[in-house]
Structure 1
């Protein structure tokens, strides 16, 4: 999943505050944007681990446009830098279970071809899980 992050330069300090609007309370502080993106990536992983530990749902991310255009948010966004952090949420969805799925042969060949061509998908199961998560986010 791709989560938007907001980086704001603190006027009274020499650092950025980085927040993840879809994950309330998930934030980091850093002297540079690059350092901030690394720190917020770690903060998101910790946040997701806590959600998984307590059996909470993983929040679906919204777009940057949603936050920038949200009523009253535009004035607060001046000077902010927005970025996208991609997080593999599969480790936070719980234990894997084997299931039996029946698919047409041509579809399986297309899936296998896509998995072979893209390093983003390590296995057929990973591809199917990603496709399912994408569909469930709609």
Structure 2
């Protein structure tokens, strides 16, 4: 499905990606050719383990005049919704307390829950 992604870039920054249809979902891409891949990954992580309904895509025209979306541009990105799994499965794992603290610190910096961080890390390791 084609979802609008607001792209903004300062001179010395990566391309910032904001998804108005997924409140609080955002990402960044160092190069333009990475925008679609990073958008897909961000949406997958956003829904991972959450009990959220997938919204119908809005259109960029709906967001005209919204102060949050000024100074950048819109892209329509094809999000493969078949890769979105909002049903979580509870697991119980054990690991050293120091490692859990390090995981929590990095997850917080990335604005992720511990579960989302671990799922994202596992996905990256499995690729």
TM-score (norm 1): 0.51
Unaligned runs of 5+ in 2: 88-127
For 2:38, the equivalent position in structure 1 comes to: 39
Q: How does 1:21-100 map to 2 (within 5 A)?
A: 21-48=20-47, 50=48, 53-68=49-64, 72-73=65-66, 77-92=69-84
Q: How far apart in 2 are the matches of 1:54 and 1:45?
A: 10
Q: How far apart in 2 are the matches of 1:89 and 1:41?
A: 9
Runs of 4+ residues over 3 Å off in structure 1: 75-79, 90-95
- Structure 1 residue 65: Cα displacement: 0.9
Q: How far apart in 2 are the matches of 1:94 and 1:29?
A: 22
Of structures 1 and 2, the larger Rg is shown by: 1
Higher RCO, Cα 8 Å, sep 6+: 2
Structure 1 or 2: more helix by fraction = 1
For 2:17, the equivalent position in structure 1 comes to: 18
Cα displacement string for residues 1-60 of structure 1 (whole angstroms, at most 9, x for unaligned residues): 22100100125x322211111111211122322223321221112223x2xx33221122
Does the 8 A contact of 2:17 with 2:26 survive in 1? yes
Q: How many pairs does the alignment contain?
A: 87
Q: How far apart in 2 are the matches of 1:43 and 1:94?
A: 13
**SS at structure 1 position matched to 2:46:** helix
CA RMSD, 1 decimal: 2.6
For 1:128, the equivalent position in structure 2 comes to: none
Q: How far apart in 1 are the matches of 2:34 and 2:86?
A: 30
Q: How far apart in 1 are the matches of 2:81 and 2:74?
A: 21
Does the 8 A contact of 1:4 with 1:84 survive in 2? yes
For 1:132, the equivalent position in structure 2 comes to: none
